[in-house]
Structure 1
Amino acid sequence: MTEPSLDIIAIGNAIVDVLAPADEAFLSQHGMTKGAMRLLSADQATELYAAMGAGREISGGSAANTLAGAAALGAKCAFIGQVATDQLGEVFSHDIRSTGVAFETKPRDLPEPTARCLILVDDQDGQRTMNTYLGAAQYLEPDAIDAAQIASARILLLEGYLWDPAEPREAMKRAIRMAKDAGRKVALGVSAVFCILNHRADFLALLEAGDVDILFANEEEVLALAGTEDFEEAVAFAAARVPLLVTTRGPDGAIAIEGGQRVSVSAEPIDKIVDTTGAGDLFSAGFLVGHVQGRSNEESLRMGAIAAAEVISHWGARPEAKLDELVKAKLG
């Protein structure tokens, strides 16, 4: 078997984030649930953008954020996602490549613009409330998936958010088959509770078929996947269906279960939480890089916690500090 030239290749939404501060009164006024994520129509996105305060534009997208973090930790990565032939498409393409991540998906001339996520951040606790307009991201074609490129990576990472639209769903199914045929691992981030509510049967079918090797889910997501309110019951349910389960618990740290062996770590201490956007994405980055480096699950969890702590210490979902140096200082 040919030795992989990449560590991680990911398929996800190509999104530019627009972040602005907002209090709970603003969220309530516009029908938002604090800390949640919802999808917007084009008209809703325009209306909310007009009502938001002054913001910052920073490229995002869950899987793309994970790759930016992984690249900062020294991993070789590539991203597959759809942008339109517009200004935000150029911004996203420039930003992802500037992190050292390969991005070869061609922009398309589409009736909808490049995706954007309008993120309201609470100044008091840093909690982010996300409002996403998928735009061009939902038009990723199955033909955009190349077997040789998928086979070139040790791990294929799939973003659960992208399971909603039909074309990207078929693209990811095709990529799974390619990865499995090449003997590569597949990781799935379920992304959000609403993704599970919409596609629980699909996700469980992937697990039952052995198509997923690593499953990332936070506490709320693993409860939704298992259909229970008991955390330990939910963890047992998920761990029985996937070789490696990774579950984050916010300030309570994270756990990993593989082959019946469970390890856990505490959250990394931080002076102040500024913006929780990207915390789960960067956790996945640290864990996956530790995994491809052959580290133990406990050390990989620590790497995830270190990366997550860095990203919530500032605005935006991409790391600003040198993650590789932070990990080296704490883990060696």
Structure 2
Amino acid sequence: MSQSRYDVLAVGNAIVDVLSPATDAFLESQGIPKGAMNLIDEERATSLYADMQPGKEASGGSAANTVAGIASMGGKAAYIGKVADDQLGEIFTHDIRAIGVDFDTPPLKNGPATARCLINVTPDAQRSMSTFLGAAALVTEEDVAADADKLRASSIIYLEGYLFDREEAKRGYVHAAELAAAAGKRTALTLSDLFCVDRHRAAFRHLVANHIDILLANEAEITALYETEDFDEAVRLVGRDVGVAAITRSEKGAVIVRGDEVVSVAAAPVSQLVDTTGAGDLFAAGFLLGLARDLSLEDAGKMGVICAAEIISHFGARPETDLKSLIEAGGIDLE
């Protein structure tokens, strides 16, 4: 087991999630791309929120969901993210600390409001996200440096691809990876979204090849990253670039790659498919905690698919069942 103070420290967009049921007709009338994430401004966020059905609000963001999942399994997690000095910022801070995640990034003053993600979930469980990034996008190299001691005390540093739009965040990611490498710790990256890959392919490729030890992606993202329609070719290429890659394939489970070694992990049973929000985030929670606890690739992958199966069986991106019990029922010992 890792002797680090934290299993995982994540850097990402600190966002308050608003999840609401929706129809395909509503998405079309609002011009919302189905099953993807699109960025909106504060005015659009206000008008869309007013038109959505009543929903569920909770602190969120991709990497925040991941560390929340880690904490729910009894893991030790920390988080770096930027909220504003406003009511939503206070809600985010209270929520993430209440679930056991160490979060101390100073709030932004005299700037944009705390971010929110308006998630419309259709009956086929697809989630269509309209995101106002606000303060969340303003994470800087200075924010990373301020938590340097926490980075050095973490087994794995986890970087969220959604945060990669601004140059300040890119510099912060490189700084985080350099701090991790100097301390003998591993840096992980999630590609987050196909649109992220399309926007930042060259920069992602450089980051992956030079600073990333563990890469997480889904099938569409990994083939887009390497500009190939051949999944096996993408697997070969990513095995060349990083120490470990975990690629999720929905109902096909996941493929874990380490050099020439390829491990296939079957999807875990799902009681009912309700909402795919957070499936990748919770896969990352299980997989990264497994790696941090020095489990085998197969067991870490199993942890990932078990966590993902739980999260898609209900509304929202936070677990409603004791994940640690589910993991132990799958024959995996986290102690």
| Fold match (TM-score > 0.5) | yes
Change (3 A) 1:3 1:325: closer
The answer to whether structure 1 residue 133 and structure 2 residue 122 are counterparts is no
- Partners of 2:328 and 2:234 lie apart in 1 by 34
Task: Specify the code of the residue in structure 1 equivalent to 2:164.
Answer: W
SS of residue matched to 2:241? coil
Letter of the aligned partner of 1:139 in structure 2?
Answer: L
Distance 2:53 2:278 in 1: 21
Distance in structure 2 (CA, Å) of the matches to 1:240 and 1:4: 28
SS at match of 1:58: strand
1:89 aligns with 2:85: no
Cα shift at 1:159:
0.2
Note the alpha carbon deviations across 1:8-60, whole angstroms, 9 max, x for none: 10100000100111111111111122111111111221221121111110111
Cα deviation digits, residues 248-283 of structure 1 (max 9, x gap): 001111010113111111111112111110000000
Distance 2:42 2:97 in 1: 27
Give the deviation of 1:3 after TM superposition.
Answer: 4.9
Structure 2, unmatched stretches of 5+, are none
- Whole-angstrom distance in 2 between the partners of 1:26 and 1:92: 28
Deviations for 1:76-120, whole angstroms, at most 9, x for unmatched residues? Answer: 110000000111101111111111110011112132110000000
Q: What residue is the counterpart of 1:181 in the other structure?
A: 182
Q: Within 5 A, what are the aligned runs for 1:249-268?
A: 249-268=249-268
Alignment of 1:19-168 (within 5 A): 19-122=19-122, 124-145=123-144, 146-168=147-169
Distance 1:172 1:230 in 2: 29
Distance 1:331 1:168 in 2: 39
Deviations 1:172-204 (A, max 9, x none): 221111111111100000101111111111111
Which deviates the most, 154-163 or 285-294?
A: 285-294
Distance of 1:293 and 1:213 partners within structure 2: 16
Aligned to 2:170: 169
- Aligned positions of 1:292-303 closer than 5 A: 292-303=292-303
For these two proteins, the number of residue pairs brought into alignment is: 329
Counterpart CA distance in 2 for 1:111 and 1:74 is 35
Of 168-177 and 241-250, more deviation after overlay is shown by 168-177
Which one is further off, 113-122 or 200-209?
200-209
CA shift at 1:244, angstroms?
0.5
Note if 1:213 corresponds to 2:251.
no
| Stretch of structure 1 that moved more, 265-274 or 77-86 | 265-274
Runs of 4+ in 1 over 4 A off after TM superposition: none
Query: 1:148: how far off?
Result: 1.5
More divergent stretch after superposition (105-114 vs 280-289): 105-114
**Partners in 1 of 2:325 and 2:59 — Cα distance?**
23
**In the alignment, which residue of structure 2 is the partner of 1:6?**
6
| 1:84 partner SS | coil
Matched, 1:203 2:208: no
Q: Residue 215 of structure 1: CA displacement?
A: 0.3
Displacement of 1:329:
1.1
TM-superposed deviation, 1:126: 1.3
Q: Identical aligned pairs, as a percentage?
A: 50
Shifted more, 101-110 versus 152-161: the winner is 101-110
Task: Note the alpha carbon deviations across 1:148-191, whole angstroms, 9 max, x for none.
Answer: 22101010000000011232222222111111111110000010
Q: Would the aligned equivalents of 2:236 and 2:260 in 1 still touch at CA under 8 Å?
A: no
Aligned equivalents of 2:6, 2:107: Cα separation in 1: 23
The more displaced of 286-295 and 153-162 is: 286-295
Q: Is the 8 A contact 1:84 1:114 kept in 2?
A: yes
Contact 1:160 1:189 in 2 (8 A): yes
- Contact residue 110 and residue 136 of structure 1 kept, 8 A: no
Contact map agreement 1:116 1:134 (CA 8 A) in 2: yes
8 Å contact from structure 1 (residues 112, 136) kept in 2: yes
1:277-296 to 2 correspondence within 5 Å?
A: 277-296=277-296
After superposition, the C-alpha distances for 1:224-255 in whole angstroms (9 at most, x for unaligned) are: 10111121122222221111110000111101
The amino acid across from 1:238 in the alignment is V
User: CA RMSD for the aligned pairs?
Assistant: 1.3
3-state SS of 1:130 partner: strand
Consecutive unaligned residues in structure 1, runs of 5 or more? none
